[in-house]
Structure 1
Amino acid sequence: MPKVKTNSSAKKRFKVTGTGEITFQKAFKRHILTKKSTKRKRAMSLKGTVHPSNMHFVKRLLGLK
């Protein structure tokens, strides 16, 4: 049987924590930041966690399942 390849775009976007959660960087914080509020930008700088309903799909992309 051939080996299953990890999705290259997924391994750049997601990171598995020590407790098994999968984190990602939130979107919309690259440019055009002057019109966005400080509260909104601060919220976007925090890591997001993958929702349990999408966990099986992301794990499959990362080759964890």
Structure 2
Amino acid sequence: LSGANLTVANLHRADLVDADLSNADLTEADLSGALMLSTNFRGANLRGVDFSRSNRTSADFSGAIMPDGTTNP
């Protein structure tokens, strides 16, 4: 899914363990309750994403645009 356009996608409770979502556009996607262990979000656009009740242990957000619009170092 690297580089995929997942704008406003409903990924509620999805199993995204070890998924490669680098450079994906997830603007305003619903990732609430999702399992994202070791998920690669490097360079992804995460503006407005709902991460409530999700597990993001060891996820890589390097260079990603975070839900609040800031860019992660």
Q: Which has the higher helix share?
A: 1
Query: If you compute each CA radius of gyration, which structure gives the higher value, 1 or 2?
Result: 1
- Per the TM superposition, whether the score is higher than 0.5 is no
Give the shorter-chain TM-score range: under 0.3
TM-score normalised according to structure 2 size? 0.21
Higher RCO (CA 8 Å, separation ≥ 6 residues): 1
